[in-house]
Amino acid sequence: MTFREILHEKDGHVVTITLNRPAKLNAYSEVMVHEVLGALADARDDDSVRAVILTGTGRGFCSGGDIGRDFQYPARYRGHRLESMLEMRENMHELVKFLQRFDKPVIAAVNGAAVAGGLTLALSCDFRIAAESARFGDTSLRFALLPDEGGAYFFPRFLGIDRALKMSLFSEVYNAREAASLGLVTEVVPDAELMPTARAWATRLAEGPPIAIRIAKRMMYKQLSMNLDNALEDAAMATLVANYTDDVKEGTAAFHEKRKPKFQGR
């Protein structure tokens, strides 16, 4: 695959996708969104990939949509009365939904500004490791725009409704430590340690049992919207797959033999 606005690297079982529009603080374009979707689809279909890192070049992780490109409405939408709705549905909304359905762990290594749609993108990942210089917030209303990439869904779930409204309606931006205290960030590290930490996390995940990790991730996301009875039934059904893998036999044998297991994803 060749890319114009992202960088793509595979190292063993880990894929790193880097947003690569540094002059725009990695504001997303239609090209960038579809390139990320393509890279994620490739990682989904490659059984040797066990974890993904999403990061950015330069001073930004992602500063939201590139409003300098006529609000990113592709030519096929321009002049259509529903152009904004069609553009959102077929671009950033598809990426957010893909990340939520993606059953391999995704780490956002937030190297700089993650604001507006960029914050939504980070929150769509499973973990957010932030460099100390990173910034988080919602600046949409500074431009009379909306948290329409999924922010209105994610922000209250991470912050609570009052703090989400405060962040969006006052266009607040927080430093990494503040964002961590609010629940937007999993861990904060010095800038120089961002990528080594993200790679260490990804490597550790990649060394785990791939099938069980993928099922456990899906279970937790699905069960967020279930009652207890349905959640327990979902868990019981999942054991019919997970409990009969070769990895369970390997994990048990490694425990008794006092060695590190070597999971094969079978």
Say what the pLDDT of residue 73 is.
58
Say what the pLDDT of residue 196 is.
98
Pairs from 166-171 (Cβ < 8 Å, separation ≥ 24)? 167/137, 167/138, 168/138, 168/140, 168/141, 169/141, 171/137, 171/138, 171/139, 171/140, 171/141, 171/142
Say what the pLDDT of residue 86 is.
78
| Secondary structure (DSSP) of 67-92 | TTTGGG--TTTTT-TTHHHHHHHHTH
Q: What is the DSSP letter of 28?
A: B
Low-confidence ranges of the chain (pLDDT < 70): 69-75
Structure tokens at 222: 């699905």
Say what the pLDDT of residue 84 is.
77
CA-based nearest residue to 88, from 99, 77, 75: 77
CA-based nearest residue to 47, from 93, 15, 23: 15
